[in-house]
Structure 1
Amino acid sequence: MVITPTPNYKWNDLGGLYESFYKQYKGYTLKELCTMFIKAEQQIIEMINSYTDVELFQQSERKWSSSTPYNRSMWKWFHINTVAPFKSFRTEIRKWKICKVNKRLFI
């Protein structure tokens, strides 16, 4: 069984998950969001530093990292769940910037 980030969303339909994320955090200021981001980043770094190289880089060292058909090492899961999503966000950010520039031109 493949485990998704939350039971309400499937891997092939994460748009709804993104929308729920935006709704959850829309009331925060940019300063608050940056503080929350830095705190989460520090927690992730501490967690990664708590593992040995063998645990991080060898496949099947931790049960949760090999619980899918892909049997990836832990470092790959950290990458997939922290860095990789930003590739898809780049497109959204570009669209937002273009929309914002176009709005200014036509106001």
Structure 2
Amino acid sequence: MRTYVNKQELIAEIKKRYDMYDGEFEQIPETLKNERIEEVDKTPSENLSYQLGWVNLILQWEKEEQAGKTVETPAPGYKWNKLGGLYQSFYEEYGKYSIAEQREMLREAVDEMCTWLATLSEQELFEPAQRDYATTKAMWPLYKWVHINTVAPFTNFRTKIRKWKKLSKSNESKNE
């Protein structure tokens, strides 16, 4: 997994990868937001919903812990070894919005995350056991939780969206 020199480098990478990811949705028409293509595991709307779900979950964990609450991860009623239901809840919660609305919501959530990260000390971000919700057997520092739910999928999901767009155009041509 990638490491970062400091929080500014992490924030810059999140913004860079997010901008590239978001740009992939520019040419996807609203009428195709829920089009499922067999070779790609998520529709465009599900792809955005997944990202909205995880970014907002991390922000929620932080808010709850800072409010003195015990945070149940990944979310109340869900277990780490059975995330399919959680993903489905993301699709239901955010899938009712247009692609443009989902993109705007994700931009706002990413901005909020970057603003929050800027307030953290290097110790809080890069040393393990700084947040109860992030303290697991793996003893990951907070930045790893952020990385695997922002930079990594923003990078990896671009490939999926590109493949979806290519196959969608191919299917469109066959149907004409």
TM over 0.5: yes
Q: Which blocks of at least 5 consecutive residues in structure 1 are unaligned?
A: none
Comparing 96-105 with 12-21, which one deviates more in the overlay?
Answer: 12-21
Could you tell me which amino acid in structure 1 is paired with residue 97 of structure 2? Y
User: Residue in 2 aligned with 1:19?
Assistant: 88
Which residue is equivalent to 2:110? 41
Q: Which of 7, 11, 29 is matched with 2:98 structurally?
A: 29
The alpha carbon displacement at 1:43 in A equals: 1.1
For 1:60, the equivalent position in structure 2 comes to 129
Query: Which residue in 2 is equivalent to 1:69?
Result: 137
User: Unaligned stretches of 5+ in structure 2?
Assistant: 1-71
Identity rate, percent: 41
1:84 is paired with a residue of what secondary structure?
helix
Aligned length: 104
Instruction: After TM superposition, list the pairs within 5 Å mapping 1:64-103 onto structure 2.
Output: 64-66=133-135, 68-86=136-154, 89-90=157-158, 92-103=160-171
* TM norm structure 1: 0.72
Q: Distance in 1 between matches of 2:153 and 2:92?
A: 18
Equivalent-residue separation in structure 1 for 2:73 and 2:160 (angstroms):
22
The alignment partner of 2:139 has SS state of: coil
Could you tell me which amino acid in structure 1 is paired with residue 146 of structure 2?
F
Shift of 1:91: 5.6
Question: For residue 35 of structure 2, what is the aligned residue in structure 1?
Answer: none
CA distance in 2, matches of 1:93, 1:76: 24
CA deviation vs aligned residue, 1:41-91 (integer Å, no higher than 9, x gap): 11101111111111111222333322x100111111111222333455346
**Higher RCO, 1 or 2 (CA under 8 Å, sep at least 6)?**
2
Do the aligned partners of 2:78 and 2:86 also contact (CA within 8 Å) in 1? yes
Distance (whole Å) between structure 2 residues aligned to residue 93 and residue 9 of structure 1: 27
Match of 1:5 in 2: 74
| Equivalent-residue separation in structure 2 for 1:29 and 1:92 (angstroms) | 19
Asked if 1 retains the 8 angstrom alpha-carbon contact of 2:73 and 2:133, the reply is no
Distance between the aligned counterparts of 1:52 and 1:14, measured in 2?
31
TM-score normalized with structure 2 length: 0.48
